[in-house]
Amino acid sequence: MGRFVYAVNVSLDLRIEQVPGDDGAGEWIRIGEELHREFNARTQALALIVHGRVFYEIMEEYWPRAHEDASAPDFIREYGEIWTAKPKVLVSRTRRSADHNTRIIGGDDAIEQLAALRAETDGIIGVGGAALATQLLRAGLLDELLLTTHPAILGFGRPLFDDYEMPIELDLLEQRSFEQGVTMHHYAIRDAREG
């Protein structure tokens, strides 16, 4: 059985966007070479990536062409190759097609389809998108959080989860420090459903 891992950049006050539409790309995020290489390695190790529509569309806008950008550092070009080649699932009610090794699931039974996908996958399934992560959390299917925390307090903006009001018990699996005061905390969610 696979494990759904929501990996996301957050501020110290657990915000993922300062203003609507910055989608985790705000000026408050500090991603240096060491951290980016860590992202590359973790993405390479994934069995599968599952994205919500908004997050997928942000990723598809740049990463499939990144390997062709001679002005980009090698670790950026490498991530583009990894993301493009990795098998992906796009969860969307509106998209009918997607490229870059991506299949689409949607409809009213999307969470049931994701539960089946988790059951039949060996390894880690990366999750991208706050709305999708919140739905997986509500269904008891989100297994782990990988929070890359940047040294900024935003004070407002989109939270880590959308409208989730239940306590979440976590167990720390790993923590690391990176350049520019960035830390990474990897947690297991205690109430994740088995099978």
- For residue 162, pLDDT over 90 is answered with no
82-114 pLDDT, tens per residue? 999 999 999 999 999 999 999 999 888 999 999
Looking at residue 167, its pLDDT comes to: 87
Tokens 């109430």 -> residue: 191
Strand partners, 32: none
> What b/e sequence results for 42-77 when a residue is b if at least 16 CB atoms lie within 10 Å of its CB, and e otherwise?
bbeebebbbbbbbbbebbbeebbebbeeeebeebbb
Which of residues 36 and 165 earns the better pLDDT score?
36
- For the cut 80, the answer to whether the pLDDT of residue 194 exceeds it is no
Unique residue bearing structure tokens 């539960």: 115
From CA 101, how far away is CA 119, in angstroms rounded?
A: 21
Six token digits for residue 74 = 């090698």
Within 8 A by CB and 6+ apart from 158, the residues are 15, 16, 17, 20, 130
Among candidate residues 45, 42, 48, the one with its CA nearest the CA of residue 119: 48
Domain boundaries, the chain: 3-189
Residue 143 Cα to chain centre, angstroms:
13
CATH architecture assignment, domain 3-189:
3-Layer(aba) Sandwich (3.40)
